[in-house]
């Protein structure tokens, strides 16, 4: 864990408060920088039933872009250096929050308000060269403890959905972090977009995962996850237990990412580097690709940083790395369309376990909407009856050839392209019906994957669909 910066805190009495309340005041100043963490301790006496926090900080912006941010969170008596102490995080999305046994501001976990030393967590992003001042007011309300709610974690399976292709958005936000959709609103939008599943990926908190089964999803599977938003790149922990929280307070030199990634995998989840080439402070991926299962090569509308992410992924493929490509809308509200793009997964059933297994293996493709469907298969001349699809390996004996076939529908005006280690080896235009197919035969080893692109009026090329590769001889040399 990286901690720097000093918070100069003070406690002051406030006359006129009700007898059932105690108010604490803290203030300080942070220097320029983004790798700063501070923990403001305060004592919670027995009989406290609610903690409420409000904050202010020095604003600084250029051209309308906020360059000073004060991220907020809370840790209980177990401390800020363990998962047991975590009680919530809202980042820079809020400047106030409250929590009790009965309820909590989205992003925070309701639960007992135990007596002891609590800590307000501050994560300042200070781009003003002169630093940033801040203040925090903590109100402790005494009284009879409120009744605790029954946790409603996400369901792990949707029954009566067997082997097949399932569409899902792997990157979404609600009011539990910095989104505007309520969970029930997001579920309705996802269903209307033709999705079978979504992944709950709130920034640095698992609060939404605790409540999803209380939301009416009408057959939509919700997979528990978290967007682990470090200051040196974001990653998606997908397929978590609903009660698991993943820490984000580390930098590449700490080598802490390796331990957290291993913990997610040990719990049955997978690790995805999110928008790895995003040109924003703290968003570009700096932890390397040795310990990731997948790259989010397509995030929201296709942009130049997606092109860079695609090139990074393709380079890994040419090195023999079987790391999957996935996509997600990263929607925070109506201005970012849910399911554009999304990931289409071939799984044995509509369950968290089956989806994670297939995603990790790359048995999937990416699409801009539910109207787009793609197939990619490869067969060997030594056994033409045995075909493999995306993410799968095809054994090729010496002297045999491989025939790769690709089809797309729902993509009028696009171009279907087949790509291997040698680059583009075949392409065809998609007709007005939106359908196209191509076939290619080779005796070379490596892989083959498909891209479907549409040329815009401005002359740029936007992705419509993208497959993971089929692998052929030599398959045994590939490494993860």
Query: Which residue, 270, 205, 7, 8, is CA-closest to 124?
Result: 7
Ordered by where they begin, the domains of the chain are 21-142 (2.60.120.380), 150-370 (3.20.20.140), 371-480 (2.60.40)
Q: Indicate the helix (H) or strand (E) that contains 343.
A: strand 342-347
- What is the per-residue pLDDT for 149? 75
What does the block give as tokens for 355?
């989806």
Instruction: Say what the pLDDT of residue 457 is.
Output: 66
Q: What pLDDT was estimated at residue 418?
A: 97
Alpha-helical regions (H) of 140-272: 183-192, 256-266
Could you read off the pLDDT of 379-434 as tens digits, one per residue?
999 999 999 999 999 999 988 999 999 999 999 999 999 999 999 999 999 999 99
**Predicted local confidence at residue 15, as pLDDT:** 41
Indicate if the alpha-carbon torsion angle 213, 214, 219, 222 is positive or negative. Answer: negative
Is the pLDDT reported for residue 479 higher than 70?
no
Q: What is the pLDDT of residue 65?
A: 73
Which residue, among 181, 186, 396, 356, has the nearest Cα to 272 in the 3D structure?
A: 356
- pLDDT at residue 29 is higher than 80: yes
What pLDDT, on a 0 to 100 scale, did the predictor assign at position 10?
A: 43
The alpha carbons of the chain give a radius of gyration, in whole angstroms, of 25
Looking at residue 394, what is its pLDDT? 95
Kindly indicate the confidence band of residue 154, based on its pLDDT and cuts at 50, 70 and 90: low
**Mean per-residue pLDDT of the chain:** 92
Of residues 261 and 214, more confidently modeled: 261
pLDDT tens readout for residues 314-327: 999 999 999 999 99
Q: What is the pLDDT of residue 9?
A: 44
* pLDDT of residue 48 exceeding 80: yes
Residue 295: closest CA among 173, 468, 477: 468
pLDDT for position 459: 65
Residue 250 exposure: Cα atoms within 13 Å on the Cβ side: 18
Distance CA 381, CA 396 (A): 8
Q: What is the pLDDT of residues 240-252, one digit of tens each?
A: 998 999 999 999 9
pLDDT at position 460? 73
Report the pLDDT averaged over residues 282-298.
96
Higher pLDDT pick, 50 / 9: 50
Other C-beta atoms lying within 10 Å of the C-beta of residue 181? 21
pLDDT for 64:
72
Task: Quote the CA–CA distance of 209 and 244 in Å, as a whole number.
Answer: 9
Whether residue 58 has pLDDT greater than 70: yes
The per-residue pLDDT for range 432-467, each reduced to its tens digit, is: 999 999 999 988 889 999 999 998 766 678 999 999
**Choice among 61-65, 159-163, 215-219, 423-427 with the minimum mean pLDDT:** 61-65
Stretch 68-79: mean pLDDT: 97
pTM: 0.92
How does pLDDT run across 225-271, given as a tens digit for each residue? 999 999 999 999 999 998 999 999 999 999 899 999 999 999 999 99
Whether residue 11 has pLDDT greater than 60: no
**pLDDT exceeds 70 at position 14:** no
Q: What is the mean pLDDT of residues 331-355?
A: 97
Q: How far apart are the first and last CA of the chain?
A: 27
Continuous H helices in 193-294? 256-266
Q: Is the pLDDT of residue 160 over 90?
A: no
pLDDT in tens, 119-153: 999 999 999 999 999 999 999 999 988 888 776 66
Which percentage of the chain shows pLDDT scores above 70?
Answer: 92
């Amino acid at each position: 864990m990286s901690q720097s910066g000093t918070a100069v805190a003070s406690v002051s009495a406030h006359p006129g408060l009700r007898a059932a309340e105690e108010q604490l005041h803290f203030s300080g100043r942070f220097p320029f920088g983004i790798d700063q963490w501070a923990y403001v301790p305060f004592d919670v006496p027995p009989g406290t039933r609610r903690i409420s926090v409000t904050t202010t900080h020095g604003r600084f912006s250029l051209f309308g872009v906020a360059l000073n941010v004060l991220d907020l969170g809370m840790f209980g008596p177990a401390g800020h250096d363990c998962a047991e102490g975590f009680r919530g995080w809202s980042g820079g999305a809020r400047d106030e929050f409250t929590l009790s046994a009965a309820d909590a501001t989205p992003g925070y976990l309701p639960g007992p308000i135990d007596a002891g030393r609590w800590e307000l967590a501050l994560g300042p992003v200070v781009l003003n060269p002169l630093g940033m001042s801040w203040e925090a007011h903590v109100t402790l309300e005494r009284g009879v403890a409120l009744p605790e709610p029954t946790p409603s974690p996400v369901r792990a399976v949707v029954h009566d959905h067997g082997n097949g292709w399932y569409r899902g958005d792997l990157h979404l936000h609600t009011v539990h972090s910095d989104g505007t959709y309520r969970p029930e609103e997001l579920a309705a939008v996802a269903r209307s977009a033709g999705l079978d599943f979504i992944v709950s990926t709130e920034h640095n908190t698992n609060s939404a995962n605790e409540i999803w089964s209380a939301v009416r999803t009408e057959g939509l599977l919700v997979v528990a996850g978290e967007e682990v938003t470090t200051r040196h790149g974001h990653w998606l922990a997908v397929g978590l237990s609903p009660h698991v929280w993943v820490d984000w307070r580390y930098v590449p030199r700490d080598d802490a990412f390796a331990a957290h990634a291993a913990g997610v995998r040990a719990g049955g989840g997978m690790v995805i580097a999110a928008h790895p080439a995003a040109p924003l402070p703290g968003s570009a991926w700096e932890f390397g690709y040795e310990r990731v299962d997948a790259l989010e090569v397509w995030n929201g509308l296709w942009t130049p940083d997606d092109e860079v992410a695609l090139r990074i992924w393709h380079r890994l493929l040419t090195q023999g790395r079987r790391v999957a490509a996935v996509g997600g809308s990263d929607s925070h509200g109506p201005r970012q369309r849910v399911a554009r793009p999304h990931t289409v997964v071939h799984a044995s059933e509509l369950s968290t376990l089956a989806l994670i297994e297939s995603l990790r293996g790359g048995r999937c493709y990416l699409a801009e909407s539910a109207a787009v469907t793609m197939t990619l298969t490869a067969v060997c001349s030594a056994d033409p009856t045995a075909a493999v699809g995306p993410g799968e390996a095809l054994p090729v004996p010496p002297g045999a050839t491989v025939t790769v076939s690709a089809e797309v529908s729902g993509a009028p005006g696009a171009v279907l392209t087949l790509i291997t280690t040698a680059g583009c080896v075949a392409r065809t235009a998609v007709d007005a019906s939106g359908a196209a197919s191509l076939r290619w035969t080779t005796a070379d080893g490596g892989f083959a994957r498909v891209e479907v692109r549409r040329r815009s009026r401005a002359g740029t090329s936007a992705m419509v669909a993208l497959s993971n590769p089929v692998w052929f001889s030599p398959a045994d040399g590939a490494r993860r």
